[in-house]
Structure 1
């Protein structure tokens, strides 16, 4: 044994025996700290909301542990000693620091838990909370006071990511934030009660409240936050408003107006300041404490108390503004979000009308503004989701005339929401950029741009589909009615140009970015609106290309064969063939019945006749003299059919009869009757004798032109004359 002591004395300094008490006290502190951590963890795991009496014992034990930590760090501050002693000191100091850090983390959780309960519990909770906060702050201050070295990231255990969070001292403002978060929901309900009282007066003085159901929607929105009886049945439409009023009257507390709510919250702040003055006055700072001239007692400065109360009101109503949305929209038994989006829009419009005339503090008005903005965002997303989804689903089905109206409704709602963002409660026109709800308008314009683009693609796709089936009624219903209705709604979009204000500068970064993004979306909306305006022309071009194909297909089925046109006869035909009426009724009548557009009617008539001529020429049909007379009679019957058609108005009839394609068809028929080498007279002899006056119009001169001159490729048509006998009867020679 003596040899071991001699060996130990040989390698270790004899002075190490003088620090054995410090070593033992550090180890004892470590064990006490772990036991205290276990007690705090047990209290935190207790789910009972009542105040645990063990917390008072924890506060008393913590004071003793705090003193021992200070003694331990003070005893381990010696640096100029043997290397082995210094190394031992560093190891024990790091162990003590780790224990202190763990204790601070669980202590912070306990203080945060008490900070949410001290308003609703007895006064002793506030005192215990402040005592724990004082000890917590003193423990944190030891690192700087005793120059305790720490690891770079303050990690005590790698298995606990929560320890990575930095520790901060508790202050009065930190307690105020905790109090505001706890009181925000209750104040939200009380504020809604005040709004309901205000709206009852507002609605009673409104003579036009019965014009629509917006009044009922607002009553429902303001009363749904109250929990109805469990066995209550849904009220009928007639008694719904009365039930909402009675429920509001029964559930309202003693707070008749907003001033009483503010006074009650100020009293909570006063209680907290008085408790802080008695337990830990250092938290109030030198400017927050003032000594009484008469008694010499310390008291909270009135200026500091007023500043703290104002600060608390700001953060409280800021929290209320974020809670109001959830209370009204989501947290009620029958939330407003479950009702149609128009209900939220009614409430939002009423709040925007109420704010300019409200006699409330600015912090409360800011909370109502946040609620109005949140309702606007909710309305924008849900209203567009609801209406656009209906339009999109309907666009995948067969056209029934409803899809276009659904797209029109989408644009009407979005245009209305966008126009509301162009004004403020104080400005009708010319509102400053920093007062406009640009953040709210940006998603509205984005959705409007997407809706216009989708409506345009639907119109093009559906028109092509209807044109392929020659369903011109649905085709013109889309181009003439649906697209026109959408353009009418887009015409009401108000988008003021703020480029000059952006060029001047002096705008915040956020406002400038939002303004530029809004300008970009406005340009995209206008570009898509211009494309939508040109969509009917594109659809008509598509109709023209399809019309010619359908004409040729129909003629292939009904046009007489080649032998019919080569046949001969001694009698000149006077009646048209039956295929002419069938052809015109199939291709022309549906168009004339559904549209009065002269250009489209003329276009279809031109395509009908040109397809007729193309079918003849493409199949190289040869015509005898009798066949040529029959074809000329068929062509002439088109003009007669137009004059007798009952579905054509007089203006359209006059326009169709002036179509040059009728002259071209007549000219083809006369060319087929000409003999080889026969010259065409440019004007009749009787017309040649008449002098042409100076004021004669170009149309009158064209009427004097022979029909053959309207045919551009006369030589090709002359090749379709069948071989004839030398003495064939030709009435043109008589």
Structure 2
């Protein structure tokens, strides 16, 4: 009753048949962890030789961490084995080939365990080997295991044993023991992965161990993909949520650089640098990389648009152009090194396994989305500049509201022409245009800002319905004309920039407004302005006279409404027209 009760249900089950296959599975399950530790011992010794023979004879922090990670898992001597690990890892001051002889000794030792098991089975239960597995000697009559059966058993054992070792390697290296590799920076795992990837094709590794090392490299790659992105992206995202930090753009650039490197590594194999067959590519590993890359590019673009709006509202244009002309350019430079092999022909050809085909189609879809987001990121600087233009108009109008003289200033009457521009002009140009000229040498953007400023200047005048006396109109014309003088005297603008900006048509439009305010009712505008200089026009050397400035002004009748009622003319309007 103490044995055969409900607490021991296995007694009620039918007996399971013990077979050689079942025994091999049990042995491989029990031996896998120990073989894993011994393989790590071999990797450790090889890594020591690798570091010693390094040309620069130096070891960075990552190398030291890998060394520590491997030493943490060196297996202790096994008292149950006839030979200790010192015999298995009998290294001399030799080359890599001697290292692989030790790995082969490890394989040979496991084969000996299986051969001893077969000898025991032959003596105790030869029927387990089957009729074809046992042969009887014609001369002596003794039984022995057939060569074919022996090799079949060895191949089966090695396949399941080293497959288990490949699974154990990931857990032991990354997660087990007191100081696992997963507790360190993802760069350490990446360093070990790159070393294994470079190590595999340069040495004659037995095929049974090769699969385990390849499995470890793949597992490390997945771990690096998950953890490195988490680390870099978290830093960038936290930085982007605070006030403007010049390091945020660099952090996003680091995110993309890391993902591009991981993605490019998935485009090659130990045997193929380019054009690797789809069946050999780590597609399962590349898919999460592409997911993260797609999301990261999208987030970088959203950050750039949002950040430039915030800093533009404070008219911190130096930071604005750092984002648009430095950070985004750096991110695009990293993405330019992204490599995608087109496998469309292989997909159309067919013949792929279901798993490979599904992964390939998913990879192609993600690659398309990544390219689309890269295209959007390339257009982000222009999008940000459009936002800057909108904010420039608001800031210009706000400044003019504070510094523009009152209406009475423009209704003054005097017998003398104004000799200098109003004081607000310098303030207006210094507050808005000077930071732009300091921050960028892009004449297109600088001309755009100048145009917006002048248009806002005109809009402020018209929206407030400011009335101008003849003297006030001359003063306004003098203020408009001072912009060209200010540009020529600016110490922050280059000579090339000055030449581009003084040709801006908005300056002619401002001049035209000033001249319209000096016109008498019903006075016709001459189509040729004889007071203006003539410029060369065509390659034939012909010269054309400039069109009057008034012709650059749309809705001329609306501006004529802003003339104050004239009591008397104190001086000829032609005198102040030549002031511009």
Question: The residue matched to 1:196 in structure 2 has which SS?
Answer: helix
Does 1:103 pair with 2:48?
no
Flag structure 2 segments of 5+ consecutive residues without an equivalent.
77-83, 90-101
Given candidates 423, 432, 435, the residue that maps to 1:587 is 432
CA 1:592/1:727 → structure 2, altered by over 3 Å: closer, same or farther? closer
Partner of 2:331: 486
Please list, as runs of the form range in 1=range in 2, the aligned pairs for 1:557-706 lying within 5 A after superposition: 557-685=402-530, 695-696=540-541, 701=544, 704-706=546-548
Does 1:728 pair with 2:570?
yes
CA 1:358/1:690 → structure 2, altered by over 3 Å: closer, same or farther? closer
Please list, as runs of the form range in 1=range in 2, the aligned pairs for 1:119-268 lying within 5 A after superposition: 139-140=14-15, 169-210=17-58, 212-226=60-74, 253-256=86-89, 257-268=102-113
Question: Does the 8 Å contact 1:551/1:608 carry over to 2?
Answer: yes
| Of 469-478 and 269-278, the range deviating more from structure 2 | 269-278
Question: The residue matched to 1:286 in structure 2 has which SS?
Answer: coil
Question: Does the 8 Å contact 2:534/2:546 carry over to 1?
Answer: no
**Highest CA radius of gyration, 1 or 2?**
1
Query: Could you tell me how far apart the structure 2 residues matched to 1:283 and 1:511 are?
Result: 39
Question: Does the 8 Å contact 1:224/1:336 carry over to 2?
Answer: no
Partner of 1:357: 202
| Aligned length in residues | 557
CA 1:551/1:691 → structure 2, altered by over 3 Å: closer, same or farther? closer
Question: The residue matched to 1:648 in structure 2 has which SS?
Answer: coil
Question: Does the 8 Å contact 1:405/1:482 carry over to 2?
Answer: yes
| Of 202-211 and 655-664, the range deviating more from structure 2 | 202-211
Query: Could you tell me how far apart the structure 2 residues matched to 1:208 and 1:693 are?
Result: 65
Query: Could you tell me how far apart the structure 1 residues matched to 2:536 and 2:242 are?
Result: 65
| Of 291-300 and 379-388, the range deviating more from structure 2 | 291-300
Please list, as runs of the form range in 1=range in 2, the aligned pairs for 1:452-467 lying within 5 A after superposition: 452-467=297-312
Query: Could you tell me how far apart the structure 2 residues matched to 1:489 and 1:689 are?
Result: 50
Question: Does the 8 Å contact 1:289/1:299 carry over to 2?
Answer: yes
Query: Could you tell me how far apart the structure 2 residues matched to 1:686 and 1:531 are?
Result: 50
The structural deviation recorded for 1:680 is 1.5
CA deviation string 1:287-328 (max 9, x = no partner):
222223344233332321221111101100000001011111
Query: Could you tell me how far apart the structure 2 residues matched to 1:655 and 1:694 are?
Result: 20
The structural deviation recorded for 1:184 is 0.9
Partner of 1:90: none
Partner of 2:148: 303
**Greater relative contact order (Cα 8 A, min sep 6): structure 1 or 2?**
2
Given candidates 198, 214, 222, the residue that maps to 1:377 is 222
Does 1:551 pair with 2:459?
no
Partner of 1:153: none
Question: Does the 8 Å contact 2:421/2:478 carry over to 1?
Answer: yes
Question: Does the 8 Å contact 1:318/1:367 carry over to 2?
Answer: yes
CA 1:690/1:526 → structure 2, altered by over 3 Å: closer, same or farther? closer
Query: Could you tell me how far apart the structure 2 residues matched to 1:259 and 1:360 are?
Result: 9
Does 1:366 pair with 2:211?
yes
CA 1:252/1:663 → structure 2, altered by over 3 Å: closer, same or farther? farther
Question: Does the 8 Å contact 2:38/2:75 carry over to 1?
Answer: no
TM-score normalised by length of structure 1: 0.73
Query: Could you tell me how far apart the structure 2 residues matched to 1:715 and 1:252 are?
Result: 101
CA 1:540/1:568 → structure 2, altered by over 3 Å: closer, same or farther? same
Query: Could you tell me how far apart the structure 1 residues matched to 2:304 and 2:363 are?
Result: 27
CA 1:454/1:209 → structure 2, altered by over 3 Å: closer, same or farther? farther
CA deviation string 1:207-239 (max 9, x = no partner):
1342744543432332222489xxxxxxxxxxx
Query: Could you tell me how far apart the structure 1 residues matched to 2:108 and 2:41 are?
Result: 16
Question: Does the 8 Å contact 1:226/1:332 carry over to 2?
Answer: no
TM-score normalised by length of structure 2: 0.91
CA 1:560/1:370 → structure 2, altered by over 3 Å: closer, same or farther? same
Given candidates 537, 549, 562, the residue that maps to 2:382 is 537
CA 1:208/1:704 → structure 2, altered by over 3 Å: closer, same or farther? same
CA 1:687/1:643 → structure 2, altered by over 3 Å: closer, same or farther? closer
Partner of 1:450: 295
Question: Does the 8 Å contact 2:414/2:570 carry over to 1?
Answer: no
CA 1:595/1:687 → structure 2, altered by over 3 Å: closer, same or farther? closer
Question: Does the 8 Å contact 1:217/1:347 carry over to 2?
Answer: no
CA 1:688/1:349 → structure 2, altered by over 3 Å: closer, same or farther? closer
Question: Does the 8 Å contact 2:309/2:384 carry over to 1?
Answer: yes
CA 1:38/1:261 → structure 2, altered by over 3 Å: closer, same or farther? farther
CA 1:692/1:476 → structure 2, altered by over 3 Å: closer, same or farther? closer
Flag structure 1 segments of 5+ consecutive residues without an equivalent.
1-33, 42-100, 106-138, 141-167, 229-250
Give the helix-richer structure, 1 or 2: 1
Partner of 1:718: 560
Question: The residue matched to 1:621 in structure 2 has which SS?
Answer: coil
Query: Could you tell me how far apart the structure 1 residues matched to 2:121 and 2:467 are?
Result: 114
The structural deviation recorded for 1:535 is 0.7
RMSD (Å), alpha carbons: 2.4
Query: Could you tell me how far apart the structure 2 residues matched to 1:560 and 1:431 are?
Result: 73
Question: The residue matched to 1:290 in structure 2 has which SS?
Answer: strand
The structural deviation recorded for 1:627 is 0.5
CA 1:685/1:552 → structure 2, altered by over 3 Å: closer, same or farther? closer
Query: Could you tell me how far apart the structure 2 residues matched to 1:623 and 1:263 are?
Result: 104
CA deviation string 1:410-441 (max 9, x = no partner):
11111111111111111111111111111111
Query: Could you tell me how far apart the structure 1 residues matched to 2:287 and 2:49 are?
Result: 35
Query: Could you tell me how far apart the structure 1 residues matched to 2:536 and 2:190 are?
Result: 76
CA deviation string 1:597-649 (max 9, x = no partner):
11110110000000000000001000000100111111111111111110111
CA 1:354/1:338 → structure 2, altered by over 3 Å: closer, same or farther? same
